Structure 1
Amino acid sequence: MQPYQPLACELYDHLEVACLYGYRLKVELTDGSTLEAQALTTRTNAAKEEFLCLRGADGPLEIRLDHLLAITPLDAGSRFGRVELGGTRCPS
């Protein structure tokens, strides 16, 4: 597994809003796969890797933030549209 690469700082706001409002998201991953799930929260593990915690059709799941390519809210009236996350990292 690749070393964790933090997202660009300004992109965290979109994840926080998605979790605050419990948006259903279309999540695009860097491996080309997609899924739909409800945003719940974010968390950081002891190794300082950050994760988006979601509720999918099959239950809870976590996705490391640097595996996210883009998120798109599926709820009407969402506060943002599609946000590209992949390839945009915080400077070290």
Structure 2
Amino acid sequence: MHTYQPLNCDLHDFLEIACLRGYVLNVEQIDGQRLIARAVTTRTASSKEEFMVFEQDGHSVELRLDQLLAITPLDDHAEFGRIVFSEAVCRF
């Protein structure tokens, strides 16, 4: 896997909303894979890499945030639609 690139700061809000609401998401990854899973939380590793934690069929699945291409909530009354992640990064 390539060197971690932090996610655009503005896009973190959508991930936080998805976790707080427990949305089921259609997750598109940059390698073309897809995942349908419930958003649980985000976490930051000691290496400063950030991950999204999902629940799928009773199992925990983690994806590094820079591997996300787009997320689409599948819940009827979601607060947002499809969100596409960009190359812009947030540096602290």
* Class of the TM-score when normalised by the shorter of the 2 chains: over 0.9
How many Å apart are 1:59 and its aligned residue?
A: 1.1
How many Å apart are 1:68 and its aligned residue?
A: 0.2
Aligned identity (percent) is: 51
- State the alpha-carbon separation in 1 of the partners of residues 58 and 32 from structure 2: 20
Encode CA deviations 1:38-90: one digit per residue, 9 max, x unaligned.
00000000000000000012611100000000000000110000000143322
Length-normalised TM-score, structure 1:
0.94
- State the alpha-carbon separation in 1 of the partners of residues 82 and 69 from structure 2: 10
How many Å apart are 1:91 and its aligned residue?
A: 5.2
Encode CA deviations 1:3-50: one digit per residue, 9 max, x unaligned.
110010000000000000000000000000111000000000000000
Structure 1 position 20 matched with structure 2 position 20: yes
Which one-letter code corresponds to 1:18 in the other structure?
A: A
Runs of 4+ in 1 over 3 A off after TM superposition: none
Q: Which residue of 2 aligns with 1:87?
A: 87
Which one-letter code corresponds to 1:33 in the other structure?
A: Q
Which one-letter code corresponds to 2:14 in the other structure?
A: H
Unaligned runs of 5+ in 2: none
Between the two proteins, the alignment pairs up a number of residues equal to 92
Q: Which residue of 2 aligns with 1:47?
A: 47
Q: Residues 54, 81 of structure 1: CA spacing in aligned structure 2 closer, same or farther, 3 A cutoff?
A: same
Length-normalised TM-score, structure 2:
0.94
